[in-house]
Structure 1
Amino acid sequence: MYQSFDDPAGGGDHAARLTALRARLRNLSLDGFIVPRADAHQGEYVADADARLAWLTGFTGSAGFCILTHDRAGVFVDGRYRLQVRTQIDTGCFTPVDWPETRPSAWLQEALPEGGRIGFDPWLHTRAEIEAMEKGLAGSGIGLIGLDENPLDAVWSDRPARPIGPARAHDEDLAGECAHAKRHRLADMLVDAGQAAAFLSLPDSISWLLNIRGSDLPKNPVVQGFAILSDNGHVALFVDAAKFDDQLRARLGNEVTILPPDGLVAALGNLQGPVRLDPATAPEAAFRLIEAAGTRIARAPDPAVLPKARKNVAELSGMRAAHQRDGVAMVRLLAWLDTQDPAQLTEIDVVRRLEALRQEAGITDISFDTICGAGPNGAIVHYRVTHASNRRLAASDLLLIDSGGQYADGTTDITRTVALGTPPPEAIAPYTAVLRGMIALSRACFPKGVAGGHLDALARQFLWQQGLDYDHGTGHGVGAALCVHEGPARISRASDLPLEPGMILSNEPGYYRAGAFGIRIENLIVTTEVKAEPGRNMLGFETLTLCPIDRRLIDTNALSTEEIAWLDTYHARVRTELGPHLDPDSQNWLDRATTPLT
């Protein structure tokens, strides 16, 4: 299987590790240290060699950080992980901290009222992150000290080796543009901006630019490395050469030079400026090396992130095809589930069945660890079932299944919440509110220039009317046969980036009642142009995901005529597009599951 049910790699004697790290800090005359979840590439998923936060604290969520002093250690997590963190860390050593409600600078000033020296690894933090913290610490007597060596690495005696997964070519027919054209298109952007080069640290940007895919990280088909794009279209790629065979090297061509990773420091110091660096994604260390050489820096976004987010015709075609195959797998799962006695199944049984069906549909990997939470486990937003947590299903449970697949031509991400028996009455109203919010966002029509932050309330409005909400964004960007979480577009109050045609996002409002159940309904949507009066540029969304929504949990009396029409139309499309690809039993189930509400 692609998914393991072993306990996450956060085990060990965390108290002893914390003691060893504190001793190291004393030797360095430091009063504290910051341990981020991120690696040098600022990715959501990190290799085992970079899982410093999990190694130190036991917390394995995809976002968070620890700040420790000699007598305190706070693990900062957002609303997605408030339940999870308390089950994973030793609260005798570490204290959960609600973030961003509590700012790191405020926590540090309380912990060190007399001031102090806080160390950090400049390769693991962005320039924007360090600047924000320095601004918050101004006048406190607390200084941030960039270190040449990471003190945690010095006490991590059994640290795993770095990954060297093989790279492969991504078919140009699926990419819709050859790598040569991409490189020169971005190089022209640099020339127009008066920039001599751009430093790329995001593996998905590099993989998209060069039309390559990799296997350094599970579930994310990227090649980990760094790159420097010159204004003439040449790319210096700093990566372990063992990842590339001769055929792939030849395909990259003479304008892509593969260099050893340990040559990056010298290369950054020798660049001629201005050099484009993204303060939101590039490591602080890169800024320091270029500044130390006296080279001018142009602060600007990674030049690949927006072109990558605007999916072209070929990428959208591949995504639609992948979602059709994925929809078949999901329907087969739900049809099978409805024939089973819940008491004879566990969460792991469901995950295994879904993965097997996706393998029959042609996945190359899953796009993230399946979240399959029954009853109270569904209230843990990023729940990952293990042998220890595995829950047997019950007819009184709601089952939340959030999952996705990596296909050669596309990436999927879908959530369905289903009733395993008679739905709990208390779940009907919030489920219906979540559905209405999902429909409202699906039906949205808005002027060009509107950002995800403007649309977020559409998905929450019906929950708000009941005094309810959820502590995660409504939608994230999704890559085309790349990372399931992709920047920079998202639907969140924190986003001010205007949406553009071709951007693919998730639409996933939810509601979570601790100790009882979780509800989330998620489709992927792509931003499209829609008809408007002359002189107006209007946008809307096309839904990519194809799978029925559980009608048993809907209070139909709460739906408007327009909402019922949307759901009936969506279900008719699901039935039409998936039905011909299903076995008779699954097709019969689909016909029943998509019966019109009206």
Structure 2
Amino acid sequence: MRQSFDETTDPTFAAKHLPLLRAKMAEQGLDGLLVPHEDEHQNEYLPDANERLAWISGFTGSAGAGVVLKDRAAIFADGRYTVQVRAQVDPAQFEIHALEDNGLARWLEAVPAGSVIGYDPRLHSPDALASLKQAAEKAGATLRPLDANPLDLAWGEARPAQPAAPAVPHDDRYTGESNASKRARIGAAIREKGADAAVLTAPASVAWLFNIRGGDVIRTPLPLGQAVVEADGSARLFLDPRKVTNELPGWLGDAVQLEAPEALDGALESLKGRKVLVDPAQSSAWYFDRLTAAGADVVRGMDPCTLPRATKNPVEIEGSRQAHVRDGAALSRFLHWVDTIAQDTLPDEREIAETLERFREQTGALKDLSFDTIAGAGPNGALPHYKPVGAKIRRIEKGSLLLVDGGGQYLDGTTDVTRTMAVGEPSADQRRMFTLVLKGHIAMATVRFPAGTTGHQLDALARLPLWMQGFDYDHGTGHGVGSYLGVHEGPQRIAKMVNTQPLLTGMILSNEPGYYREGHWGIRIETLQVVTPPEPIPGGERPMHGFEQLTFAPLDRRLIDAGLLTADERAYVDAYHAETLAKVGPLLDGEARAWLERACAPLN
């Protein structure tokens, strides 16, 4: 019987599957096996066929790793999944640890000396693998690359089939540039790197470059495949033939050769003696090993599609504007529901998430959610990336807060927005903390900055109001967002962690400071914004970038303590609400429209 994974994966998976895996490990002479969450494409979200970590442990989060030894096993999950991993994984079978601070590598440092631990080179980037090899060497252990993954062998016929959703053209009216033009640009970038060709393994790069989208991965419209792009812009695209529709060859053009995945190994072999660009952060170690064995000269460097994909063109930016207005109308209907019906019925988190999805579906344009909706009531809102799972699901309660974070995938753009709402009458403390978060949000929305500035350099602005009162939050302030692609997109980000990538015109980022009081409630305010071209400031000397707001949905005015805002901050809130009413209001009618007018009224 084939298996499928969801957020309530069977917690007995480990007890049933560990013996099967250990038997296959013994056949290969292994003392252990690394089980990353990442698949052959280094995806954040995976098709069921590639959910190896879920199969062995039951954990379905998007960031984690596992190690299975002969007599013990451990799983590592990041802070987003603290609650979920303990709900899904049997602690009698797996030790549960934090992924942060090199948790997996530090654990490997203590494995028995002489241990031989296998790894599938298709599932690990060389950068990630390097630190794990160092940790194993410190313990006197050895990491061995494997041709056959013992977990896949143990999974056997129960493993779901690889996805084969059609790869479809993504029209130039959404992309703003033809795939031929993009290939010419990328070919020039390959030449500038001193390479003859580039191997693309990131599905987002494949989707962006060839202007195609797919359905192989939940929440992200990706076709799983690879490509070899020549410096002249011609390319070989490797897709499962089942994904190739009749219109696809004509869409791609004569300079793109469609081939089956089985031909990829031979294609890499044919690069012998040539300089080949590969990204060590996005491509697995297998590509580097295979190209080196073939006699190619490997050039390590950033995927040449990464920056062009991140810097949206005018058509993509306009599409994002339209997607956000449409999404803002759906979200406003949802907020109206929370502020009226839900205040009386006090629904649980699952119903809240389903209601928001239903309003998005009613737009008639939703292709998928951009990620699983986070709906945190009361104490669950204090878990920054909580999902309604099993017994942890709560109903909203009077006197508490509701935090909802969700987004949609539309043909013209990807959305991601968080709003925090009062249930009943908020306390003075809740209003104070919400307003401190709002002050940081406004600072990030209104900042001006010179060319060359990174998100790391801006991060403190969003935290300063909280810092001055002795508070902080432990997640990043902003992540990049794709154009009908991934809701998490690099290389740009706004975070404490050092990031050397300057913010460039056209990059879309989230602005999402927060505050979380463990055991009580959480607060986060998130909108998406796009970097604007540098412009002079009257009386200034240097042109400055800024941010244009893309997300429009009202803030809960009951949670704003206007006395804590400066005159400029009050003016920003009033202007933002006026623009929200002007853009979103025409898409609403009846009670929802009347509610939006009240919600967007000037602060008292």
Unaligned runs of 5+ in 1: none
Structure 1 position 515, deviation (Å): 2.7
Give the direction of change, closer, same or farther, for the CA distance of 1:537–1:34 in structure 2 (3 Å limit). Answer: farther
What residue in structure 2 maps to residue 253 of structure 1? 253
From 504, 507, 511, the counterpart of 2:511: 507
Structure 1 position 420, deviation (Å): 1.6
From 583, 595, 601, the counterpart of 1:577: 583
Structure 1 position 326, deviation (Å): 0.6
Q: Could you tell me which amino acid in structure 2 is paired with residue 455 of structure 1?
A: L
Q: Could you tell me which amino acid in structure 2 is paired with residue 74 of structure 1?
A: A
What residue in structure 2 maps to residue 318 of structure 1? 319
What residue in structure 2 maps to residue 89 of structure 1? 89
Contact 1:81–1:381 at 8 Å: present in 2 too?
A: no
Give the direction of change, closer, same or farther, for the CA distance of 1:115–1:474 in structure 2 (3 Å limit). Answer: farther
From 338, 352, 356, the counterpart of 1:354: 356
- The 2-side partners of 1:183 and 1:57 are apart by 42
Deviates more, 1:95-104 or 1:379-388: 379-388
What residue in structure 1 maps to residue 554 of structure 2? 548
- The 2-side partners of 1:95 and 1:466 are apart by 37
Deviations 1:100-158 (Å, cap 9, x if unpaired)? 2244332112233x242221110001011112323444544222211111111111131
What residue in structure 2 maps to residue 79 of structure 1? 79
What residue in structure 1 maps to residue 481 of structure 2? 478
Determine helix, strand or coil for the equivalent of 1:369: coil
Determine helix, strand or coil for the equivalent of 1:385: coil
- The 2-side partners of 1:388 and 1:307 are apart by 44
Q: Could you tell me which amino acid in structure 1 is paired with residue 348 of structure 2?
A: T
What residue in structure 1 maps to residue 282 of structure 2? 281
What residue in structure 1 maps to residue 340 of structure 2? 339
From 450, 453, 458, the counterpart of 1:455: 458
Following superposition, which runs of at least 4 residues in structure 1 exceed 6 angstroms of deviation? none
Deviates more, 1:449-458 or 1:70-79: 70-79
Give the direction of change, closer, same or farther, for the CA distance of 1:559–1:229 in structure 2 (3 Å limit). Answer: same
- The 1-side partners of 2:190 and 2:10 are apart by 43
Deviates more, 1:138-147 or 1:382-391: 382-391
Structure 2 residue 566 is the aligned partner of structure 1 residue 560: yes
What residue in structure 2 maps to residue 150 of structure 1? 149
Q: Could you tell me which amino acid in structure 2 is paired with residue 568 of structure 1?
A: D
Determine helix, strand or coil for the equivalent of 2:433: helix
What residue in structure 1 maps to residue 52 of structure 2? 52
Contact 1:10–1:55 at 8 Å: present in 2 too?
A: no
Determine helix, strand or coil for the equivalent of 1:447: coil
Count of equivalent residues: 594
Structure 1 position 439, deviation (Å): 1.2
Determine helix, strand or coil for the equivalent of 1:348: helix
Contact 1:65–1:75 at 8 Å: present in 2 too?
A: yes
TM-score, normalised by the number of residues in structure 2: 0.94
Give the direction of change, closer, same or farther, for the CA distance of 1:493–1:426 in structure 2 (3 Å limit). Answer: same
- The 2-side partners of 1:75 and 1:512 are apart by 25
Contact 1:117–1:144 at 8 Å: present in 2 too?
A: yes
Deviations 1:449-504 (Å, cap 9, x if unpaired)? 11111112222222333433323221111011111111111112232211100000
Structure 1 position 389, deviation (Å): 4.5
Determine helix, strand or coil for the equivalent of 1:163: coil
Give the direction of change, closer, same or farther, for the CA distance of 1:73–1:512 in structure 2 (3 Å limit). Answer: farther
- The 1-side partners of 2:47 and 2:439 are apart by 39
- The 2-side partners of 1:592 and 1:85 are apart by 41
Q: Could you tell me which amino acid in structure 2 is paired with residue 558 of structure 1?
A: L
What residue in structure 1 maps to residue 372 of structure 2? 369
Structure 1 position 395, deviation (Å): 2.1
Structure 2 residue 470 is the aligned partner of structure 1 residue 464: no
Contact 1:80–1:472 at 8 Å: present in 2 too?
A: no
Contact 2:431–2:560 at 8 Å: present in 1 too?
A: yes
What residue in structure 1 maps to residue 490 of structure 2? 487
- The 2-side partners of 1:480 and 1:151 are apart by 37
Contact 1:434–1:511 at 8 Å: present in 2 too?
A: yes
Determine helix, strand or coil for the equivalent of 1:402: strand
- The 2-side partners of 1:369 and 1:286 are apart by 32
What residue in structure 2 maps to residue 188 of structure 1? 188
Give the direction of change, closer, same or farther, for the CA distance of 1:555–1:535 in structure 2 (3 Å limit). Answer: closer
Structure 2 residue 395 is the aligned partner of structure 1 residue 431: no
Contact 2:83–2:386 at 8 Å: present in 1 too?
A: no
Give the direction of change, closer, same or farther, for the CA distance of 1:173–1:585 in structure 2 (3 Å limit). Answer: same
TM-score, normalised by the number of residues in structure 1: 0.95
Deviates more, 1:72-81 or 1:253-262: 72-81
Structure 1 position 386, deviation (Å): 4.8
Contact 1:411–1:480 at 8 Å: present in 2 too?
A: yes
- The 2-side partners of 1:379 and 1:479 are apart by 27
Determine helix, strand or coil for the equivalent of 2:336: helix
What residue in structure 2 maps to residue 267 of structure 1? 267
What residue in structure 2 maps to residue 171 of structure 1? 171
Deviates more, 1:178-187 or 1:486-495: 486-495
What residue in structure 2 maps to residue 123 of structure 1? 122
Deviates more, 1:499-508 or 1:94-103: 94-103
Deviations 1:167-188 (Å, cap 9, x if unpaired)? 2111101111000000011001
From 385, 394, 397, the counterpart of 1:394: 397
Q: Could you tell me which amino acid in structure 2 is paired with residue 323 of structure 1?
A: H
- The 1-side partners of 2:229 and 2:10 are apart by 37
What residue in structure 2 maps to residue 42 of structure 1? 42
Structure 1 position 510, deviation (Å): 1.8
Structure 1 position 419, deviation (Å): 0.7
Give the direction of change, closer, same or farther, for the CA distance of 1:261–1:475 in structure 2 (3 Å limit). Answer: same
Contact 1:7–1:388 at 8 Å: present in 2 too?
A: no
Contact 1:12–1:55 at 8 Å: present in 2 too?
A: no
- The 2-side partners of 1:486 and 1:465 are apart by 31
Contact 2:5–2:48 at 8 Å: present in 1 too?
A: no
Structure 1 position 519, deviation (Å): 1.5
What residue in structure 2 maps to residue 328 of structure 1? 329
Contact 1:6–1:386 at 8 Å: present in 2 too?
A: no
Structure 2 residue 541 is the aligned partner of structure 1 residue 538: no
Contact 1:274–1:296 at 8 Å: present in 2 too?
A: yes
What residue in structure 2 maps to residue 444 of structure 1? 447
Determine helix, strand or coil for the equivalent of 1:587: helix
1:210-229 correspondence runs (5 A): 210-229=210-229
Contact 2:11–2:89 at 8 Å: present in 1 too?
A: no
Contact 1:10–1:59 at 8 Å: present in 2 too?
A: no
Determine helix, strand or coil for the equivalent of 2:376: strand
Percent of residue pairs bearing the same amino acid type: 45
> What RMSD in Å do the two structures reach over aligned CA positions?
2.0
- The 2-side partners of 1:409 and 1:401 are apart by 23
Structure 1 position 11, deviation (Å): 4.5
Contact 1:168–1:248 at 8 Å: present in 2 too?
A: yes
- The 2-side partners of 1:180 and 1:535 are apart by 40
